[in-house]
Structure 1
Amino acid sequence: MKRHHDNAKGGPAAGPSQRQLRAGELIRHALVEVLREEELHDDDLRGVSVTVTEVRMSPDLKHATCFVEPLGGGHAPEVVDALNRHARFLRGSLGRHIDMKFTPDLRFRHDESFDKAAHMDALFNDPRVRQDLEREDDEDEG
């Protein structure tokens, strides 16, 4: 029987469950170890350090979407494609590092939050925007 969780407003619960969050962090930490220990023979991954920023688990914990960022941010599409090519091998290695009933299927995606943060930073440093922000600060003080 399927359980439905409702939020305070009577609608379906928003966001991942506590179980999904815990499993995601467990997978993220173990995946970092696997990527550090295993040598993947792929030209797109040679000499590349990869940061695993987040792992989102499906409700049944059988699928994991892993958000990654290559150090320096360069060649992200190639790195993500290479990791997806080696996902089955990484899943096998991951199974030896975690204690879960099922080792989830892995899907890798580029974490674009770094790019968005850099874009926002560039916007805030634009002289016209900075002038508007300083004008608002002066109005708030007066």
Structure 2
Amino acid sequence: MADLRANRVAVQMQKELGDILTRKIKDPRVGFVTVTDVEVTGDLQQAKVFISVLGNDQEKQESLLGLAKANGFIRAEIGQRIRLRKTPEITFEIDEAFEYGNRIDTLLRDLNKE
């Protein structure tokens, strides 16, 4: 039962975070960021947000720094949009799976050319 609720909260958070990051965050360090997944613990205390960032490693780190700085604002926005007794603590992580998939895709295309 708790897992189902955590999943619903995660899906709702992913939707709202996408909107917040595109419309509300004005920090120039936060470039083209896409929320790829959100994992919420069963007790709804922690939320791990996976993002993909367009750019090189330095731009990705800059985006993470910008998001860390805006974390309080983002949490407050989430709290207003999703009615929960306590808004989960949010941590942002780069989603490596997306890049890994792109790298494999590129390698497969190169093999097909040969």
**Same fold, judged at TM 0.5 (above):** yes
Give the aligned partner of residue 44 of structure 1. 29
CA-CA distance at 1:64 after TM superposition: 0.6
Distance across 2 between alignment mates of 1:53 and 1:97? 19
RMSD of Structure 2 on Structure 1 (CA):
2.2
CA contact (8 A) 1:68 1:110 kept: yes
Stretches of structure 2 that go unaligned for 5 or more consecutive residues are none
Which consecutive residues of structure 1, in runs of 5 or more, have no partner in the other structure?
1-15, 131-142
Deviation at 1:19, TM superposition (A): 2.1
The one of 111, 115, 119 aligned to 2:103: 119
Rg larger in structure? 1
Percent same amino acid at aligned positions?
28
Distance 1:118-1:90 versus aligned 2 partners, 3 A rule: same
- Runs of at least 4 residues off by over 3 Å: none
TM-score w.r.t. the length of structure 2 is: 0.82
User: How many residues are paired up?
Assistant: 110
1:68-120 CA-partner distances (Å, limit 9, x unpaired): 112x3442121012101211121012111111221111111111122101121
Aligned to 1:85: 69
The residue correspondences of 1:23-62 to structure 2 (distance < 5 A) are: 23-40=9-26, 42-45=27-30, 48-62=31-45
Shift in Å at residue 34 of structure 1?
1.9
Q: Distance in 1 between matches of 2:22 and 2:28?
A: 17
Q: How far apart are 1:55 and its partner, in Å? A: 0.6
| Counterpart residue type for residue 87 of structure 1 | N
Report if the CA contact (8 A) 1:68-1:80 is conserved.
Answer: no
Q: How does 1:4-19 map to 2 (within 5 A)?
A: 17-19=3-5
The structure, 1 or 2, with the larger RCO (C-alpha pairs under 8 Å, 6+ apart) is: 2
Kindly provide the amino acid, as one letter, of the partner of residue 98 in structure 2. F
